[in-house]
Chains A and B, each alone.
Chain A
Amino acid sequence: MKDEDTKDRQFATTLASGIDLLLCFHPGESSLANKDFAQRTGLSKPTVARLTHTLALLGYLRRDPASARYRLGAAVLGLSHPLLASMRIRPIARPMMETLAREIEGAVSLGLRHRIHMVYVETARSSEDFVLTPDIGAPLPMLATAIGRAWLARAAPEDRLSVLNQIRVAAPAEFERHAAAAELARDELARDGFCSARADWQPNRHGFAVPLHGLVDGMQFVLNCAVATKRGSFAQMRREVAPRLLTLAHSIELSLGLR
């Protein structure tokens, strides 16, 4: 619980605390006990117990009676569904993304910013190599990825600065290592219309990304693609693959009436 929250009378503390419990889970961590929640949120154990009890009744947590630990419940997935299903860009982009993924033997994804991360809302994979491509909903770093760099390069200066500052505070190592490359990506976007990441995030993949021209339902979407480094040199992929992503972006923009 942040200090400023409790001073604000408009703020519904119980609701915020309940949400904070759901946000305690990290990927790869399947269950937590009441004392874990208490440690991570700073809430008292009786408060945590009341909230986990309520969240379990509502399907957001599942309690394992044997261990008295909680797992996330399937009701959390219901929160993303109306958001994903009402994005009119997804069904339009999906078939075109699948075609490109096959042609470049890689993965093509569509994402947007979530605080200091990027998150995919749609992804198309060509081959077994890309089965483990980040999933819909997975938070991805911004500075090391083409998709994050493209978002930053397109953002209004005040938004870019604000996000960069948040990254500097929350992820200093990421900032130190990749801030310069992310800065160069702005020139790249201005010059070539796309941003790239040369095996910066995942060592065996090159990434390219194009921010869509204009907002869709108030959201800035970014298209990206990933190709395996074994397919060719970075320079070659940059020459052959990135322009096709630009063409894809253009077709999606035309279908949505953005151009």
Chain B
Amino acid sequence: MPAARHPDPDFATTLQHGLQVLHCFTVGEPALGNKELSERTGLSKATISRLTYTLAARGLVVFDAHLRRYRLGSTALTIGYPLMASLRIRQVARGRMKQLADEVGGSVSLGMRDRTRMVYVETCRGHDLSAWRPDIGAAVPMLPTAMGRGWLAHAPPQLRDAVLAQIEASEPGQVRLYEADLVRAQADLQRKGFCVSRGAWRSDVQAVGVPIRIPQDGETLVLNCGVLTSRLGPRQLEQGVGPRLVALARSVEADLDAAA
């Protein structure tokens, strides 16, 4: 596939390949050599060595001489900062998010859409589970999560359909699989102000999602609150966690309005 010409003549394939190399680095595999990068991307070793050489010149990867492999470099940390800085809502909401996370013993996060997924731009933990650590920059799919459902249920129909079409194109069958959940999410959002997901993403976590009604940096951001199923009482998600996240969202909106 990588050898094939991209159908769009204005598409800069080398740029895409370079960014593809960066996405090979994961939490589980933070250090990779040229050979491994070549295997994972399907690009030749000669191409990979040009790409890693260039990425290193920009500080996006560094060569770990001890491991004889590349790691992500410090430019990867700072490149997104101007975006974070333009989301003033993070500072407005942070204290309240932490408070709710502590009160329910879960995680409260704020996410922004990246094409067909939601990316966390702020997250607060009220628990100490090492296996469940949402972090800034982490991406989750839209259809199974309360955050993604909150975005889809709130989006104007034309935009929602465009995003659903993109999801369908990359993962055929997904949209139909979650059709009933989406219908329910829209009804829930209208009636209660929040959407839910019960274990559809992480089987041990239930979550609610609430869209922020005032666009931030041109986008609709969504708040979520996830709690381990084992820590939830019966009906606590609908009657306790959901309404509190709605109240949090409305109070943040009021402060954003007042500051505008």
Set of chain B residues within 8 Å of A115, measured between Cβ atoms: 59, 74
* Residue in B10, B59, B136 whose CB lies within 8 Å of A77: B136
* A256 beta carbon closer than 8 Å to chain B: no
0/1 interface trace, chain B 43-79, chain A, CB 8 Å (1 if under): 0000001110111011110101011000110111111
- Contact string, B138-154, partner A, CB cutoff 8 A, digits 1/0? 11000000000000000
- Is the CB–CB distance between B15 and A85 below 8 Å? no
Chain B CB within 8 A of A157 CB = no
Interface of B is mostly: mixed
Q: From DSSP, what is the main secondary structure of chain A's interface residues?
A: mixed
Interface stretch, picked from A12-20, A196-204, A247-255, is: A12-20
Of A47-55, A100-108, A222-230, which binds chain B? Answer: A47-55
Q: Which of B83-91, B225-233, B248-256 lies at the interface?
A: B83-91
Quick check: B25 and A62 within 8 Å, CB to CB?
no
Name which residue of chain B comes closest to A72, CB basis: B83
Q: Which residues on the A side are within 8 Å of B113 (C-beta)? A: 74
Q: Does B218 contact A (CB under 8 A)?
A: yes
A138–B85 contact, CB under 8 A?
yes
Knowing A59-B115, A114-B78 touch, does A27 contact B85 (C-beta < 8 A)?
A: yes
Please name all residues of chain B whose beta carbon is closer than 8 Å to the beta carbon of A29 when the two chains form the complex.
82, 86
Q: Are B114 and A80 in contact (CB under 8 A)?
A: no
Task: Give the size category of B's interface with A.
Answer: 35 or more
Chain A contacts with B in 184-201, Cβ cutoff 8 A: none
In-complex Cβ contact of A119 among B72, B77, B90 (8 A): B77
Give CA–CA (A121, B114) in the complex, Å. Answer: 23
Bound state CA distance, A10 and B49, in angstroms? 8
Name the segment of B16-24, B167-175, B185-193, B197-205 touching the other chain.
Answer: B16-24
Residue contact A218 to B80, C-beta cutoff 8 Å:
no
Query: Complex: how many Å from CA A91 to CA B27?
Result: 13
Distance of B52 from chain A, by nearest CB (Å): 10
Q: Is the CB of A11 within 8 A of B80?
A: no
B55 near A76: Cβ-Cβ < 8 Å: no
Across the interface, do A136 and B136 meet the contact criterion of CB distance under 8 Å?
A: yes
A 87-132 contacts with B by CB, 8 A:
91, 95, 112-115, 117, 119, 121, 128, 131-132
Q: Which 6 A-B pairs have the closest CB atoms?
A: A81-B137, A15-B18, A74-B114, A114-B74, A18-B15, A25-B82
Contacts from A to B (Cβ < 8 Å): 5, 10-12, 14-20, 22-23, 25-30, 49-51, 53-55, 57-60, 62, 64, 71-86, 91, 95, 112-115, 117, 119, 121, 128, 131-132, 135-139, 217-218
